[in-house]
Amino acid sequence: MIDERMQEQASLHVLGALSPAEAREFKAAMQADPELKEFVASLSTATGALAGSVSMTEPPPQLRAKILAQIAPPQKTVSLPEQNFRPKFWLPWSLATGFAALCLILFAQDSQLKKQVGAQAQQINDLNQLAQSLQTATNDLQQAVATLRESNRLANLKIAMLNSIVADAPKAVAVSLWDNEKQDGVFVAENLKPLPADKDYQLWVLENGTTPVDAGVFHVGDDGNVRMEFKAKQPIKVAGKFAVTQEIRGGVASPTIKNMVLASN
């Protein structure tokens, strides 16, 4: 980035206003800095365009007489051919040069401002991309957490298929879904034989596959189907198997093995 001092030196260089020592120093700096060299080239183009746009103006006719009166001796009057005396004045060029210098400074400041605005726009764009990346990463992390939670929930579920073990209800089947974390489950049975009013079916959770824990009694409809949510009467550490027995109304404390109708493997 070109600092303000070098911008000023560049403007004076283009206008030819540097001293010989300053000009040599500036040319050496320009050769070592491609950006400065490009900047000087753009200033030179602008200066030429400004100078060439100003037209040369002749002085008014009466100015000739005033000039002659000041420079001619009092005792002599020399007539000069009219056609050979048409003085030219370069005042417009001086004005153009000053105006060009001002424009060069403004041009340099405008270029610097545009670079700063461009850099800030790039920074804003980079920040927007970073924010978008962080949002994407956050969404991915939330999805990963949800997946882990779901996986952990599935790991706590015990699903068991219960099959009929009695000859008079060979088509009877059931499915038990047990959530060990929540300590509750869902039981669905089909094609069980309806029982008289003084009898109940009783569901058992076999902790570690051996110790029966009461999970409640139920009845089936005329179609032999039932769906119910259940809880064990005491905490279950590991639900190994499930079984259904036919018991007296209200159930019993321990299952009647000979009356077992469904069991899981």
Domains of the chain (ranges, CATH numbers): 4-132 (no CATH), 157-264 (2.60.40)
pLDDT in tens, 5-45: 888 888 888 877 788 888 898 889 888 888 888 888 887 77
Q: Is the confidence at residue 143, as pLDDT, over 80?
A: no
pLDDT at 244: 97
DSSP 55: P
Q: Which one, of 132, 255, 146, lies nearest residue 200 by Cα? A: 255
Determine the Cα–Cα distance for residues 252 and 250; give it in Å rounded to an integer. 7
202 bridge partner residues: 217, 245
CA distance readout (Å), 100 to 37, 56, 94, 156: 19, 16, 10, 83
Closest-CA residue to 252 (of 204, 194, 187, 189): 204
pTM of the model: 0.45
Q: What is the pLDDT of residues 231-257, one digit of tens each?
A: 999 999 999 899 999 999 999 999 999
Mean pLDDT within 45-73:
58
CB atoms within 10 A of CB 215: 26
Of the candidates 25, 94, 27, 92, the residue with the CA atom closest to the CA atom of residue 55: 92
52 versus 103: which is more confidently predicted? 103
CB 185 within 8 A of CB 219: no
